[in-house]
């Protein structure tokens, strides 16, 4: 199963991004394809926070439009949403300890641990910081693979 990180979602949503068309192609392929794909809930929350933030985008995406975008992704019949079950904390602890992660990178460790817990094979991301979690997760930048 493939999961999608926040940056791919943002690029697909924001038309002014130089990666917009490629990210749209990636997400369309996943959403309309036959294979199961995943969105970690933390990435959905982060997407909403980023695209609607007036210090990041001028103009920011209006919250109703950002929510509508999430609704569209949630409409994919092959989508699975990744959340933390009750027995998740030991997995997060293991990822944090083995990768020696603290501070702001805990957010990325949480996503890596969620993906690992749910059996995700690959996280699509343009963020190189996920390489520190190689023992738990394979990352791939799908934007570089599209021609």
Rounded CA gap, 70 and 64, in Å? 10
CATH number, domain of 129, equals 3.40.50.1010
The answer as to whether 82 is a domain residue is yes
The answer as to whether 16 is a domain residue is yes
- Going residue by residue through the chain, which has 147 residues, state the pLDDT in tens, using 9 for 90 and above: 999 999 999 999 999 999 999 999 999 999 999 999 999 999 999 999 999 999 999 999 999 999 999 999 999 999 999 999 999 999 999 999 999 999 999 999 999 999 999 999 999 999 988 999 999 999 999 999 654
The answer as to whether 130 is a domain residue is yes
The runs of H, that is alpha helices, within the chain are: 6-13, 20-32, 41-51, 63-74, 89-99, 106-117
Write the CA distances from 46 to 37, 42, 77, 100, integer angstroms. Answer: 18, 6, 22, 23
Number of separate domains in the chain: 1
Is the entire prediction scored with pTM above 0.85?
Answer: yes
Which position has the token pair 């699509």?
124
The answer as to whether 8 is a domain residue is yes
Q: What is the extent of the structural domain holding 134?
A: 2-140
Phi and psi (nearest 5°) for 33?
-80, 170
The answer as to whether 146 is a domain residue is no
The answer as to whether 85 is a domain residue is yes
The answer as to whether 147 is a domain residue is no
């Amino acid at each position: 199963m493939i999961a999608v990180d926040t940056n791919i979602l943002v690029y697909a949503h924001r038309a002014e991004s130089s990666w917009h068309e490629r990210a749209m192609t990636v997400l369309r392929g996943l959403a309309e394809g036959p294979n199961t794909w995943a969105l970690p809930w933390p990435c959905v929350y982060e997407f909403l926070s980023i695209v609607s933030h007036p210090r990041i985008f001028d103009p920011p995406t209006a919250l109703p439009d950002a929510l509508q975008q999430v609704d569209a992704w949630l409409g994919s019949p092959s989508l699975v949403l990744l959340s933390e079950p009750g027995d998740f904390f030991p997995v997060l602890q293991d990822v944090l300890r083995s990768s020696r992660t603290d501070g702001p990178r805990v957010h990325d460790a949480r996503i890596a641990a969620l993906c690992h817990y749910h059996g995700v094979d690959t996280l699509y991301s343009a963020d190189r910081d996920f390489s520190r979690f190689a023992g738990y997760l394979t990352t791939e930048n799908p934007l570089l693979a599209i021609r």
